[in-house]
C-alpha cells in the first residue's frame, strides 16, 4: 500500500481522511512523519493556504504529500467566515467562540444558506494539483449534536434534517465536502499510479 503524508496537525481531519482513504493509501500524519511544525495560513483564499501547507511539507520531507483548507461560507455574510473559519472570533481557534459569533451575526437574517468548501493541494513529484469539494446546506438556529468538530453542530446539509454534529462519520461522509474533495484526490492518485 502506498504511503502519503497528510500535512495537517488537526487529528479530527486526519482521522476523517484516513477513514475515507482506508484500504487504498496509508495516510501518514505530520506527527507520525516526525514533523512538528505549525504551518501559517496567511492568505485570503483556501487555495493559497492549502498550497502553502503542501509545498512546505514537500520541501521539508521530499515526499509526496497533500494538505487541505476548509471554510464555512455563509451567503448572507458575504461568504464569511470563509478562509478565517478557524479563527473567526479570536486569534486562537476556539470553536465555541466561533459558533457563538456566527449565531449572533445571523440573528436578524432569514437567509441562512451556507456551504462548506474544501480545497486539497497535492504535491506529487514536485508538481501541485488541486481538488475541490462543496457541501451546500444551511445554518441551524442553535447547536445540535456533540459529534464532529468545528461548526458541525450548526451545519445542516441539503437532503438532511440533522446537523453534522448529530451524524456519525459514515453518515456525514454521504454529504461531506471533505469526502468529495478526497474522492477526487483518490481518483487522481489511482490514475497516476496506475501508469507506473
C-alpha to C-alpha distance for 180 and 131, rounded to whole angstroms: 9
**Of 32, 44, 69, 170, catalytic:** 69
C-alpha to C-alpha distance for 99 and 49, rounded to whole angstroms: 22
Active site residue 69: yes
DSSP state of 84: T
Alpha-carbon torsion (13, 19, 24, 28), positive or negative: positive
Describe the crossing of helices 11-21 and 177-193 by its angle, rounded to 10 degrees: 50
Listed in order, strand segments (DSSP E) in 56-161 are 65-74, 80-82, 113-124, 127-139, 155-157
> What are the cell numbers at 183?
474522492
Helix (H, G, I), strand (E, B) or coil at 71: strand
**Integer distance in angstroms from the first to the last C-alpha of the chain?**
14
- Active site (catalytic) residues: 69
Amino acid at each position: 500500500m502506498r504511503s502519503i503524508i497528510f500535512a495537517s496537525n488537526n487529528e479530527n481531519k486526519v482521522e476523517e481522511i484516513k477513514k475515507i482513504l482506508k484500504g487504498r493509501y496509508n495516510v501518514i500524519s505530520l506527527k507520525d512523519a516526525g514533523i512538528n511544525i505549525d504551518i501559517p495560513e496567511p492568505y485570503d483564499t483556501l487555495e493559497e493556504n492549502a498550497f502553502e501547507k503542501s509545498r512546505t511539507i514537500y520541501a521539508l520531507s521530499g515526499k509526496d504529500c497533500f494538505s487541505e483548507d476548509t471554510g464555512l461560507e455563509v451567503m448572507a455574510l458575504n461568504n464569511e467566515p470563509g478562509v478565517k473559519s478557524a479563527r473567526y472570533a479570536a486569534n486562537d481557534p476556539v470553536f465555541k467562540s466561533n459558533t457563538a459569533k456566527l449565531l449572533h451575526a445571523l440573528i436578524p437574517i432569514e437567509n441562512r444558506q451556507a456551504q462548506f468548501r474544501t480545497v486539497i493541494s497535492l504535491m506529487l513529484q514536485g508538481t501541485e494539483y488541486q481538488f475541490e469539494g462543496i457541501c451546500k446546506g444551511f445554518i441551524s438556529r442553535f447547536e445540535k449534536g456533540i459529534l464532529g468538530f468545528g461548526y458541525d453542530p450548526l451545519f445542516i446539509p441539503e437532503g438532511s434534517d440533522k446537523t453534522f454534529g448529530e451524524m456519525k462519520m459514515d453518515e456525514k461522509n454521504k454529504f461531506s465536502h471533505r469526502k468529495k474533495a478526497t474522492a477526487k484526490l483518490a481518483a487522481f492518485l489511482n490514475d497516476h499510479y496506475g501508469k507506473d
